[in-house]
Chains A and B, each alone.
Chain A
Amino acid sequence: MQSFEEESLKATALNVRQHIINMSTGGGCFVGASLSCVELIVYLYKRFLNIGINTINDPSRDYLFLSKGHDVPALYGTLAEIGFIKKKRLKNHLLTSDTVYWHPNRAIPGVEFHSGSLGHLPAVAAGVALDCKLKNASNRIVVITGDGELNEGSVWETLLVANAYGLNNLTIVVDRNQFQANVRTEELIPLEPLADKFSAFGCDVCRIDGHDFLAIDEAFSAIPFAHNKVNVIIADTVRGKGLPSIEARADRWFCAFSEKETEQLRKELLENETALLESETLIVR
């Protein structure tokens, strides 16, 4: 990847982070989990996935499934940046007159499937991948899961089946931001050594810095990793990435900020001015 290309991706990622901040007021959203996968989603749409505004329903397109679901502000921000949806539509967040809410739904162009209940989309994506194999089609299917989501047994069940069917057109990307909803993964249900677990289930695994576009590019460029195995990319990330005042804060999972706070967060993002956050934490959503 040329450095000007990397700069362009970084610029888009910065814009997406601003969209996420904008969606965190007037009801709020899952800010931290959205910020951790910005680079992954921006890279996928701008550099990897064979899909464009005119090929949203083309059977030969590539597929992205957002399995953790609550990171959807990062997807909506990206879809707005690449023109799948209008930027002003993000202002409709949580209005019943539109369909932009806390979890993905198929009414939004670019959203392949609804999610929110964890551990579902690896199986749905495996069904899509299997159909592509049956038709000898070359579509690539990518699923982004959370790391806390890996608690769900259905993820591992699906890996067994997908590897039995040799689905090397399927790639699972783990947004390894180290957090469940409110607790660190390793303090609650430890996942490490995670790469070994995926290997033991028959996958071919690589582990990268999930905020480094060059590393992301290198990993995705190597797909398929093997002849007949599911590809797994463990992307080490930081929950709340880009906003030090919420980075790695266990209690900043769902955030409903005031307008004043989002103003400060924008300054923190763009000018490194620390935001003073006073709104309630550990909100149940």
Chain B
Amino acid sequence: MNYEELLIHMALKDERIVVMTAENRALVKNIPAALGNRFIDTGITEQTMVGMAAGLALRGRIPIIHALTPFLTMRAFEFIRTDIGIAGLPVKLSGYIPGFLSDGNGPTHQSIEDISLMRGIPGMQVFAPADEDDLVKMIPLVWQSKYPSYIRVNHKKGSYSHASYEEGKAEIISEGKDITLLVYGFLFDNTLKAKVLLEETGLSVGLVNMRCLKPVDEDAIVNAAHQSSMLVAVEDHLSTGGLYSIIAEVLLKRRISLPVLPVSLEERWFKPGLLNNVLESEGFTPEKIAQKIAKEYYQLKETMYA
């Protein structure tokens, strides 16, 4: 089942669900035919869509709302924070083309601060599926919950068959004595491949698919910190406010000190291009991720034994 089929399936079972879009129908092409007037397209009006979603939720509806994620999370930020956040209404945000998935669009369309913004809203839950399989496994629980939530939608097909989603839990793919890679969203696949490359050099490498960034699975981070001598945060997001920051917050809170390497974007927008070209030029191919991690790891070992 893909995103849209699951959406139709759930909406047909639950009259409270309405599907909204700010005129971006890529993910909801077949919804008008399936749901009739429970499909609401507000035109290119992210602010009004969010405000109206709050009003619909006041009437007992569960609005599942769609837009390109830079415009949803930034153009309408104050409406999300004020109308949905303060009221704690169960509005479900689906943002698409997050991070590198905006490939050739350019910086206007790059959402590389969405995790930081959305997790800054009290009560807002934040999800980042690795691929379509991961997405459809988490959606039923996310949409059935009474909380507002943001999904950093990644509907691309991946190569991995994920475990079923457990509320509030990260997916532990493997544990490693030397390094644990923590990742969310689209970069899961390349990070999985980077892990194999690192293992081929004799390292013991763990991998955690974070799945939910808020509330975050603190134990998954703490356990990784106890098992490995280095953690790596891989994300197509600025290193401020995303997973690297989340790991830092958790380690500080639990009074744990260990090296954490960010493989993320530093204080600039990425160079636009076809996705593969972007991954190459920004250093997020499996080989480049592995190289960066290995270099940092061996430098660290040298310092420790110097």
What is the interface of chain A, defined by CB distance below 8 A to chain B? 59, 106, 112-114, 117, 120-132, 134, 154, 157-158, 160-161, 164-165
Q: Taking A113-B87, A120-B79, A161-B42 as contacts, is the C-beta distance between A127 and B58 under 8 angstroms?
A: yes
Distance in Å: Cβ of B63 to nearest Cβ of chain A: 8
- When C-beta atoms are compared, the residue in chain B nearest to A105 turns out to be B86
Instruction: Convert B41-66 into 0s and 1s, putting 1 for each residue whose CB lies closer than 8 angstroms to a CB of A.
Output: 01101011011111111111100000
Q: Hey, which chain A residues are within 8 Å of B83, CB to CB?
A: 113, 120, 123-124
Q: Hey, which chain A residues are within 8 Å of B79, CB to CB?
A: 120, 123, 154
Given A112, A130, A132, which contacts B52 in the complex, CB threshold below 8 Å?
A130
What is the interface of chain B, defined by CB distance below 8 A to chain A? 18, 37-38, 40, 42-43, 45, 47-48, 50-61, 78-79, 82-83, 86-87
Q: Taking A117-B82, A131-B61, A132-B59 as contacts, is the C-beta distance between A124 and B54 under 8 angstroms?
A: yes
Q: Hey, which chain A residues are within 8 Å of B59, CB to CB?
A: 59, 127-128, 131-132
Q: Is the CB of A158 within 8 A of B51?
A: yes
Given A106, A125, A157, which contacts B87 in the complex, CB threshold below 8 Å?
A106
- When C-beta atoms are compared, the residue in chain A nearest to B81 turns out to be A117
**A interface SS class:** helix
- When C-beta atoms are compared, the residue in chain B nearest to A134 turns out to be B37
Q: How far is the CA of A120 from the CA of B48 in the complex (A)?
A: 8
Q: Is the CB of A127 within 8 A of B78?
A: no
Q: Hey, which chain A residues are within 8 Å of B45, CB to CB?
A: 157-158, 160-161
Distance in Å: Cβ of B38 to nearest Cβ of chain A: 7
Q: Is the CB of A123 within 8 A of B56?
A: no
Q: Is the CB of B58 within 8 A of A112?
A: yes
Q: How far is the CA of A106 from the CA of B54 in the complex (A)?
A: 14
Q: Is the CB of B86 within 8 A of A127?
A: no
Q: How far is the CA of A157 from the CA of B38 in the complex (A)?
A: 21
Q: How far is the CA of A154 from the CA of B58 in the complex (A)?
A: 20
Distance in Å: Cβ of A92 to nearest Cβ of chain B: 21
Max chain A Cβ within 10 angstroms of own Cβ: one of B42, B78, B86: B42
Q: Taking A114-B86, A134-B38 as contacts, is the C-beta distance between A125 and B43 under 8 angstroms?
A: no
Q: Is the CB of B48 within 8 A of A123?
A: yes
Distance in Å: Cβ of A153 to nearest Cβ of chain B: 8
- When C-beta atoms are compared, the residue in chain A nearest to B76 turns out to be A154
Q: Hey, which chain A residues are within 8 Å of B86, CB to CB?
A: 114
Q: Is the CB of A123 within 8 A of B50?
A: yes
